[in-house]
């Protein structure tokens, strides 16, 4: 019995369980992943019914493939100005976001409202969809188009008005000219 306890303790120490590194603590994952504070542009609808950018400082990994998800999540949080309406239902979540080598950004959204069918108008759906497209293509030079999925599956539309059966490219006509 004492021998088994001794062996377990020895393995624990050998494998580094509970011991701090010689450099004084746990490794800094932000440094290892090259995470830095960066300015991003998130697109929301203005009172003029056009998309306008809101700038924020966001902790992002240097690798664009890893940063796409963080930017998409920041967008879905909604605008910082409480008088500007949210573009997506409050229960919307970003399940994942990826950047493919061909320049397509995939954004997988979820949440009860989008899953069950979002009853919203055409303009609201247009602004929501293109807020994602404009945000990702504006912040990542590698992203040329955006494909939106719901619960890891392709969908025809979010609310019946905007076709999502293929990737979408940015649409400058939806962005306020003074904000470009």
pLDDT, tens digit, 9 for 90 and up, residues 138-151: 999 999 999 999 99
Over 60: is that where the pLDDT of 109 sits? yes
Give the model's confidence band at 99: pLDDT under 50 very low, under 70 low, under 90 confident, else very high.
very high
**60 three-state secondary structure:** strand
Predicted TM-score (pTM) above 0.85: no
d(CA 1, CA 128): 64
Domain ranges of the chain: 37-179
Long-range contact pairs involving 34-40 (C-beta distance under 8 Å, separation at least 24): 34/61, 34/62, 34/63, 35/59, 35/60, 35/61, 35/62, 36/60, 36/62, 38/67, 40/71, 40/74, 40/135, 40/139
Whether the predicted pLDDT of 12 surpasses 80: no
């Amino acid at each position: 019995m004492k021998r088994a306890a001794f062996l377990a303790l020895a393995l624990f120490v050998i494998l580094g369980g509970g011991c701090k590194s010689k450099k004084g603590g746990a490794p800094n994952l932000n440094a290892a992943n090259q995470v830095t504070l960066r300015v991003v542009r998130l697109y929301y609808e203005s009172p003029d019914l056009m998309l306008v950018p809101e700038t924020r400082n966001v902790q992002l990994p240097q690798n664009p493939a890893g940063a796409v998800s963080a930017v998409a999540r920041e967008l879905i949080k909604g605008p910082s100005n409480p008088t500007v309406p949210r573009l997506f239902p409050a229960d919307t979540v970003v399940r994942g976001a990826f950047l493919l080598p061909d320049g397509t950004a995939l954004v997988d959204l979820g949440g009860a409202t989008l899953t069950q069918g979002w009853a919203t108008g055409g303009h609201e759906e247009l602004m929501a969809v293109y807020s994602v497209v404009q945000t990702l293509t504006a912040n990542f030079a590698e992203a040329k188009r955006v494909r939106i999925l719901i619960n890891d599956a392709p969908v025809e539309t979010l609310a019946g008005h905007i076709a999502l059966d293929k990737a979408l490219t940015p649409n400058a006509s939806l962005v306020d000219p003074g904000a470009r």
